[in-house]
Amino acid sequence: MPFQAIEQQRMYQQIANQIAGLIHDGQFKSGDRLPPERDLAKEFGVSRNVVREAMVALELAGLIEVRIGAGTFVLLNRERGIKFAPLGQSDIGPGPFELLSARRVVEGEVAFIAAQTAADDQIANIREALMRMERDPVPYRISRNWDRIFHTRIAAATGNTVFVSLVDTMWKAMLDPMFETLSLHARLPEHHRMTVDDHRAILAGLESRDAAAARDAMQAHLLNVENVLSNADELASAGENETV
């Protein structure tokens, strides 16, 4: 018999496809509320962050609806079979938490190197990007671009074009629907001030040429972002204290 290609999936996608299959088969019916994140995490033997990513994938596929403060519900949908298909079996890309973990490692070292190699005019350009974020009248929508420029200018200050490409590629991945949807649920715009303060600490390390301080500040910043996504507004765990 003909061989079939072996498809590999990320953990969150495997979980999303299992839940999608249960919805497709009618074990979770239209209007049903899904179990809380912590229960699903225990059932699947994974972290709540992985379950949260799976919920975002299901939401983007049109299978569920997240109602802040109420929980996660199966959508009323007569075309569930069609909606099941977009999840597919192939890799649909890294989840937000996987991406942030990689950024913490890569950009931490990038900041460490940049503190030692950045020219004065490059430091000034990084400072300009931070000032633009601080002045921005629409913190999230417009300053997001200056946030990206802040990080890519730090990479450029290393003098290594591979670092620039890596940082820019990871930033592009943060603009995909998975990350954007999770950011919306976590209300990241409300954390604009935290981001600005974190960037100030990174810049301080660069300006003082303290490589260790720049690395620590960068890693702390990206961990803060991860914590916001993990904890704010409990995406799929609303109603955990309720008896279902």
The model's pLDDT over 89-125, given as tens digits with 9 standing for 90+, comes to 555 677 889 899 999 999 999 999 999 999 999 999 9
- Please state which CATH class domain 11-87 belongs to: mainly alpha
Q: Is 9 helix (H, G, I), strand (E, B) or coil?
A: coil
**Tokens found for residue 45:** 């033997």
pTM of the model: 0.77
Distance between CA atoms of residues 58 and 53, nearest Å: 9
Whether the per-residue pLDDT at 81 is higher than 70: the answer is no
172-212 confidence digits (pLDDT tens): 888 888 888 887 766 655 678 888 999 999 999 999 999 99
Mean pLDDT over the full length of the chain: 82
Q: Which of 224, 222, 214, 201 is nearest to 158 (CA)?
A: 214
Identify which has the larger pLDDT, 82 or 232: 232
Residue 94 contacts residue 88 (beta carbons within 8 Å): no
Q: Residue 173: its pLDDT value, please?
A: 87
The residue whose two tokens read 């209007």 is 31
DSSP structure class, residue 241: T
190: tokens are 């409300």
Residues in a beta bridge with 65 = 73
Handedness of CA 110, 213, 100, 121 (dihedral sign): negative
- Alpha-carbon separation of residue 94 from 91, 174, 177, 211, 225 (angstroms): 8, 10, 11, 29, 17
The reply to whether 96-231 shares the fold of 11-87 is: no
Contact by Cβ (8 Å): 167, 155: yes
d(CA 48, CA 164): 32
Q: Where along the chain do its domains lie? A: 11-87, 96-231
Q: What does R_g of the chain's alpha carbons equal in angstroms?
A: 20
Assigned superfamily of 96-231: GntR ligand-binding domain-like (1.20.120.530)
